[in-house]
Structure 1
Amino acid sequence: MCLENKAFVWKDVPDPVCHAGFDVKIRIRACALNRADLMQRQGIYAPPEGWPLWPGLECAGEVVECPPDGRFKPGDRVCALLGGGGYAQEVVVPEGMVMPMPKGFSFAEAAGVPEVYATAYLNLKLVGEIKKGETFFINGGEGGLGIAAIQLAKHVFGAKVVAQVASDANGAFCREVGADVTVNRFTDDLVSVLAANPPNVAIDPVGGPLMGKCIATMPYRGRWISL
């Protein structure tokens, strides 16, 4: 599925070709929709160099070709993080960006895993170095990244989770998936809530005029990550 005049259209494109010993070719069964795909449709996001020009940043499917001494074999069910090209029947991706499909997941469910969960894990663990018992704040808790970050912070890393959301209904949903405290950005005082729950680690994909005051609520060695 390609873009023409900011619209999605069906087109035939050349079959992707593997670099022997390096790439995995996947027969795509499901793909996901991300904000970057919408931005690409608007003409304000270009795919990284070397990737297909059509959208699609993550997918799930079956291995068609792979390195003979690699981690996968033809027929394996996998999901993958892509630089583009997921809105197609097949895609070629470096083996390091491919992961086994989680057990019990459908293709549609698995296609939504790589982008948000890889981003959340990278920033929580490798950048934020979150530790058990710390407090974590996510701005935009109801989004894909926010949901993934809440679940990982709470259920994997053992943190207390504070999430800012756009409505009370979204707050209720975030509490269902693991948030301990939710803040309605339109009716609640975020700075006061963070002062009462000082975040050791924060992931902020939203930003805004309150950022400086929010950062001031963090304890010594706090880590505020802006995306």
Structure 2
Amino acid sequence: MKAVVITTPGGPEVLQVQQVEDPQIKEDEVLIKVEATALNRADILQRQGRYPPPKGASEYPGLECSGTIEAVGKHVSRWKIGDQVCALIGGGGYAEKVAVPAGQVLPLPPGVSLKDAAALPEVACTVWSTIFMTSRLSSGESLLVHGGSSGIGTFAIQIAKYLGIKVFVTAGSEEKLAACKDLGADVCINYKTEDFVARVKEETGGKGVDVILDSLGASYFQRNLDSLGMDGRLFVIGLMGGAVTELNIGSLFAKRLTVQAAGLRTRTLENKAAIVSEVEKHVWPAVAAGKVKPIVYKCFPLSEVAEGHRLMESSQHIGKILLVP
């Protein structure tokens, strides 16, 4: 099969499509013929040599896919050959075929094309496992999402609004803020021209928000704490703004704040299966009802994977970038 190989750590030019061996499935896995895969920031880090795949995962990039099941392991009962699905994977999506643990496979949601479904697993599992399963965000509360126009952001806005939550977002251009507003965001803040802490305080009567989903890390850490209300929860899912910062611990005491952080790729198979099950139960009905949809900015053929990475690194996109074998 064809797959994208990282020939050496470096820039987008190190990504090359090569002929490689087909993946072999284990007894509890399925083989998916890939219709599409989606780009994630983790793929860029892996390409740069800063985020190696977990033990046992495919060496090829790609953390989600959609496609048709071609083979099933002997211990797999739910799925059969010919099923159209999408899946959360530990690697290997940038290829024509990928082996996936059966517990990480999701049925194609009604009303979504097989290609566009590739844009859903990673964002749905990330958002649901962090701010809902762990931070317990619930109806009537408020959420601040940094990078509202990203794949994570566009999904978080939609699912939060569906569940009756007031959504604040930050983004770096009026075009991106307009896209967030169209998806249902209540308060849209241009972080280049506004102080998001002041705006959050203004919009909440000084109280602050209940939950923040943050991919910046160090550069926003103290300001995030300042933006939270009593019993507020900060969930960090990325370190684009650095990993080391100074903290005024007193700000945690004063408002009984909770700070959490987690990735998705390095979780156990059992943990991933539990998250995928929760996503099917709670998120798929919203997708089926048309209340949450994949936001696809552009689709590249596998041969133009380097262009896809350049686009993602430019941060000019809104939503997800897809690759099609």
Q: Would you call these one fold, judging by a TM-score over 0.5?
A: yes
For residues 86-105 of structure 1, what are the structure 2 equivalents within 5 Å? 86-105=93-112
Structure 2 segments unaligned to the other structure (5+ residues): 238-325
Correspondence for 2:113: 106
- Three-state SS of the structure 2 residue aligned to 1:11 is strand
Q: Per-residue deviation at 1:187?
A: 0.7
One-letter amino acid of the counterpart of residue 229, structure 2: P
CA–CA distance in 1 between the matches of 2:127 and 2:209? 16
Q: Per-residue deviation at 1:121?
A: 1.1
Contact 1:194 1:214 in 2 (8 A): no
- After the TM superposition, which segments of 4 or more aligned residues of structure 1 sit over 4 Å from their partners? none
Q: Per-residue deviation at 1:73?
A: 1.1
Correspondence for 2:160: 153
Structure having greater relative contact order (Cα 8 Å, sep ≥ 6): 2
Counterpart of 2:214 (choices 183, 198, 204) is 204
Matched, 1:59 2:65: yes
Q: Per-residue deviation at 1:106?
A: 2.0
Which whole-Å deviations, capped at 9, do the CAs of 1:179-220 have from their partners, x for residues lacking one?
000110011121111213321111111135453233133222
Contact 2:38 2:62 in 1 (8 A): yes
Correspondence for 2:181: 175
- Three-state SS of the structure 2 residue aligned to 1:178 is coil
One-letter amino acid of the counterpart of residue 207, structure 1: G
Matched, 1:31 2:15: no
**TM-score of the aligned structures, taking structure 2 as reference length:** 0.66
Q: Per-residue deviation at 1:54?
A: 1.2
Q: CA RMSD in A?
A: 1.5
- Residue 16 to residue 174, structure 1, CA distance change in 2 (3 Å): same
**TM-score of the aligned structures, taking structure 1 as reference length:** 0.93
One-letter amino acid of the counterpart of residue 39, structure 2: L
CA–CA distance in 2 between the matches of 1:193 and 1:225? 20
Higher normalized helix content (fraction of residues): 2
Identity over the aligned pairs, expressed in percent?
A: 38
CA–CA distance in 2 between the matches of 1:214 and 1:192? 11
CA–CA distance in 2 between the matches of 1:210 and 1:117? 24
Q: Per-residue deviation at 1:74?
A: 0.8
One-letter amino acid of the counterpart of residue 66, structure 1: V
CA–CA distance in 1 between the matches of 2:152 and 2:64? 14
Contact 1:15 1:90 in 2 (8 A): yes
Correspondence for 1:71: 78
